Amino acid sequence: MGRIKKKGTSGAAKNYITRTRAVKKLQISLPDFRRLCIFKGIYPREPRNKKKVSKGSTAATTYYYTKDIQYLLHEPLLNKFREHKSVAKKIGRALGRGEVGDAKRLEKTHMPKVKLDHIIKERYPTFIDALRDLDDALSMLFLFANLPSHEHIPAKTIALCQRLTLEFEHYVITSHSLKKSFLSIKGIYYQATIQGQDILWLVPYRFVQRTAGDIDFRIMGTFIEFYTTLLGFINYRLYTSIGLVYPPKFNAKSDGDGGELSALQLEGKGIDNGDSAANGEASKAITSAEAQAEADKIAALAASGEDEEDETTVAQTEGEEENTEAIDTFETTAEDADVLPQPTASNEELASLFAPFTFYLSRETPRAPLEFLLKAFGCRRVGWDGTHGDGAFTTNESDPAITHQIVDRPALPADALPPVPAAAEPTNGDGPQPKAQWPRTTMPGRTYVQPQWVWDCLNQGKLLRPDLYAPGAELPPHLSPWVKPKKGEYDPNRPLEEQELEGEAEAFEEEDLDDAEDAEPRLITNGEMDAIVDRDSDVEAGEGMDVASDSDEEDEEDEEDEDDEFEGFNSDAESEISDGEAERRQHQRELEAEATGTTLESSVPSSKAKSAEIRKKAEKKRKLEDEERERLKMMLPRRKRKLLKRIEYGENKRDTEAENLRRKKRKLEKVKAAANAL
């Protein structure tokens, strides 16, 4: 006879452990257990069969893997937590006795410091693994960098988050890794490609943040402690990979004056650039050093006495290496193959998109995101008003070197602006020149655009027409660069004529005409008014009401209805005849009208009749297609027919949404056309 197993000692009951048992097994407090699980990346698990795990209990319980808890038994941080707890008891005992000096000494010398370096190495064996997990870290750090300090968030933590995020932005600017950006309700999304990994993070807008009381800042602070360590490792590796010294020099005075990016000064390792290495000039020095190394290599080959053929081979090899930077094109192999999207610009073109320009940011524009985007795409000269902070290329709005000015308020007439006090006339010709201040005056030769122009240019990889983004102009739709319209969905960038189904525009026009006729009041003539008055004065009992015994009137109405139906059937039949037959019948009607001396109503059908005819043809065609589709569906097995039904439900929902959006677009265009006509 086999050995009888005791219930709850094997299987799912042994693989899972409750949180209470885990805390008792580790002999730490619940807050420390949560902190340790966040550091180690251990999260609660949901058993497949809770009844077996809980031994029949129905209480809400949190479960963990038993192996994860056993793995935590050997964690060095457990000793740090226990030491921290013992020192905290001593400090509390000293404060209870009134020994404040001893309490400060204990906190300064005996309080253990928690380091997470070994945890970073355990969780991310390779650098690519760390980059893949950087999205949430960047979003959380940028969020805390914009929060105000209070009792739960110390100012030291916020300053650390700000410095780490600025260091990461400097690397993105120097390496030209930024690819896309999008303005949303939540904030500004950025996407950068670093060592082949796409990193997407969210930066909130710089509004006044009010922290609610129902937020557990202890949990968020634990995540911040882990993420700051992670980003510090990543920044060090990224800086050293491109030959920059980490950490960069930090100018506290410039940071206090609102310099932000300008407060950090980059330096190339082994290159004496001094202060000129700031704002991305270190990358230029590195590039020149690499070019000088290549030139020295070629000179050494030439000095070694090699023949011209070897030099030609080297030149051809360099030419091939240069050609690898060209844009690849994807050609279709068959006529019915999918058309792949073609790249619009190479990495070098995107990196120097704004390089030839000098930008000036008006006071109402967001300086931080615009400065980051412009510098990331090659612009080295960005100026702004002195109230925005330190680090501007120029604070003079009338500087003639400025080529583009970004404004975010409409162009108001001169009457709507407050008067400007008259300046004192200079006694000699050396007085100050008048300044061009937007929105009163504009500088000739300068381009004025709205901030959306910068985002749309970098998302499309080319410079767009600035007149579409002029101050006060109605901006084009700002669409997400990560969402591509699929077949059948509404695309605001394409004209409606290319997206509408056959007969959809005619049906919309017909509905508009019907609505206009219903809404338009009809004027009553004098004759009609007299007839109404006479009828009111001569009304007798029972007159004017439909009586059931009036069989003659009912027969006449039925005959009229039948005639109407028959005429509609004939009109449908005539709509299906050929154009030649229609012309022949029209000519016959004209001859008969001329012979009888009557006038033909109209030899040319009205636009309403034409649109109705086109709509009927389209509806009939779609009806035939639906019938053919239903016939084919009946030949499918039941399982596949159900699957096809679910697919059709999603397609019909998508088509309905697209049709509603197209209707709104057409109505909006009609209203705009009417407003422009006025």
Q: Where do the H-state alpha helices sit in 59-191?
A: 66-72, 77-96, 100-105, 117-123, 127-132, 134-145, 155-175
* 26 C-beta neighbours (distance < 10 Å), count: 17
224 falls in which pLDDT band (50, 70, 90)? Answer: very high
State the DSSP H helix or E strand holding residue 311, giving kind and residue range, or none if neither: helix 308-323
What percentage of the chain reaches a pLDDT higher than 70?
Answer: 68
CA 196 vs. chain centroid, Å, equals 21
User: pLDDT averaged over the chain?
Assistant: 76
d(CA 418, CA 421): 10
Tokens of 172: 């993105």
Rg (CA), the chain: 38
542: left (phi over 0), alpha (psi -120 to 50) or beta: left
Q: For residue 633, what are the contacts with CB-CB under 8 A and spacing of at least 6?
A: 641, 644
- pLDDT single digits (tens) 131-185: 999 999 999 999 999 998 888 888 999 999 999 999 999 999 999 999 999 999 9
Q: State residue 310's pLDDT score.
A: 43
d(CA 133, CA 145): 19
Give which of 609, 612, 593 is closest to 601, Cα–Cα: 593
- pLDDT single digits (tens) 475-528: 888 888 888 777 767 777 777 766 766 666 666 666 665 555 555 544 444 554
pTM of the model: 0.69
235 falls in which pLDDT band (50, 70, 90)? Answer: very high
Instruction: Tell me 210's DSSP state.
Output: -
65 or 642: which leads in pLDDT: 65
Domain ranges of the chain: 12-110, 128-242, 350-413+438-483
Where is average pLDDT lowest: 7-11, 88-92, 644-648?
Answer: 7-11
600 falls in which pLDDT band (50, 70, 90)? Answer: low
Q: State residue 581's pLDDT score.
A: 74
Residue 621 has pLDDT above 50, yes or no: yes
- pLDDT single digits (tens) 536-569: 444 444 444 444 444 444 454 444 444 444 444 4
Task: State the fold for domain 350-413+438-483.
Answer: Rossmann fold (3.40.50)
